[in-house]
Structure 1
């Protein structure tokens, strides 16, 4: 009787260990908070309007299961200083200056501004399942909304009545529309949770059109469709929130 009872107690002691081993092959999931920064080059119709730009943003991803599927939301802010088009050329003098109300030269720089917001779906292909089952090569595909415009920065010391907030909309060439996104890179989630980052190549294809009913520079309405392409690199830091315990994953 005593030996049977002893074996029963020992069996109960080993059950938690067996259950923990089962969770090793079936991780519950992890919520990934991303903070990213990158640089891009334009192509397509966007190359005619802007030069290289920077991009900053972040997102939330849910990665789960043995297959390491990923679903998430991504938001990014685009900004740059190279504008190839000059929508306010009609306001300039022969020498290329813009004169304010006080008859002094006003400094009116042009800037690129824009943003992207979309949903992503992808997969992580682990390099070493035992050491870090959620880290490896990552492929994402997304769909969302892309917008960009020319920002006309006023000279705070000079007043230019043609460039008040009401009239700026006739010059900024605001464009937006549906966009596709692709990301190919590497995701690192270390066992000690101290080295978590993502880096890779990113591409956008925006099917946009002008959203202003009238362009003051061309004196016409511009409704022609555009294909705005962006290509660049993006790196970032990841803050993970695990749904299961570290010892259940790596033990």
Structure 2
């Protein structure tokens, strides 16, 4: 019995994919796509000096035209636990790395990475199977902004030396214009149930410290940075579309 259930599930999931190899010719259609994806990213250039590897969760709205060109907007949340510039608060901590809270108790301050990107995108799908003209290798180019900073957390402690205003001198808030390129594969099934994409993504940004002055170094920071991220992204797609009517001719 269990073998029969597995066989039914296998056919339900993979039959639309195998159908690309055989079957009648399909036509591309105007489609609205809603994407949700995850990427694991590796920083490089100046960003690698501040942070280690990070995770990225992205949501995207996109229009795929009948020509298989795409146009969309996307936003991604960046987060990670690896902060390489971990001595910024050393000057206001004890020799053991603790901080003194308002009540005179020792407190531990944790740090992690937070950031986001906002992009407008344009892309193209290159169908390789006649039976599914809406799927195939794809490329996408984006332009927008990259923003990141060091997030500090000290749980329930009250640290006046890290008040909301003073924290601005330590969090290294940084942002600037960015471009992005993605290359991968997109699959949109005819039954609309199995839609996914995956590939490699590269982001390049020209950023600057927007706080201007760092309290730990007691210096102004106006240097133009080059921040880059290389990631592997995979996601699920919700598609909303109306296929063109098919005409049949009888002789």
Match of 2:153 in 1: 153
TM-score by structure 1 length?
A: 0.84
TM-superposed deviation, 1:213: 2.5
How many angstroms apart in 1 are the aligned matches of 2:222 and 2:234?
A: 35
Match of 1:108 in 2: 109
TM-superposed deviation, 1:28: 4.4
Aligned residues: 222
Match of 1:99 in 2: 100
Give the alignment of 1:42-191 within 5 angstroms.
42-65=43-66, 67-86=67-86, 87-130=88-131, 132-156=132-156, 158-191=157-190
Superposition misfits of 4+ residues, deviation over 6 angstroms: none
How many angstroms apart in 2 are the aligned matches of 1:176 and 1:166?
A: 19
Q: Does structure 2 conserve the Cα–Cα contact (< 8 Å) formed by 1:31 and 1:61?
A: yes
Higher alpha-carbon deviation: 88-97 or 113-122 = 88-97
Query: Secondary structure of 1:165's partner?
Result: coil
Quick check: 1:216 aligned with 2:177? no
**How far does the alpha carbon of each residue in 1:110-151 deviate from its partner, in whole angstroms, 9 at most, with x for none?**
010000001111100112122x11111110111111100000
**How far does the alpha carbon of each residue in 1:11-67 deviate from its partner, in whole angstroms, 9 at most, with x for none?**
xxxxxxxxxxxxx65x441011001111101000000000010000211111112x4
How many angstroms apart in 1 are the aligned matches of 2:184 and 2:29?
A: 23
RMSD across aligned positions (CA): 1.7
Q: Does structure 2 conserve the Cα–Cα contact (< 8 Å) formed by 1:115 and 1:148?
A: yes
Q: Given the superposition, is the C-alpha separation of residues 248 and 59 from structure 1 closer, same or farther in structure 2, using an over 3 Å criterion?
A: farther
How many angstroms apart in 2 are the aligned matches of 1:170 and 1:205?
A: 25
List alignment gaps of at least 5 residues for structure 2. 1-25
List alignment gaps of at least 5 residues for structure 1. 1-23
Q: Does structure 2 conserve the Cα–Cα contact (< 8 Å) formed by 1:154 and 1:163?
A: no
Match of 1:195 in 2: 194
Match of 2:21 in 1: none
How many angstroms apart in 2 are the aligned matches of 1:229 and 1:98?
A: 33
Query: Secondary structure of 2:215's partner?
Result: coil
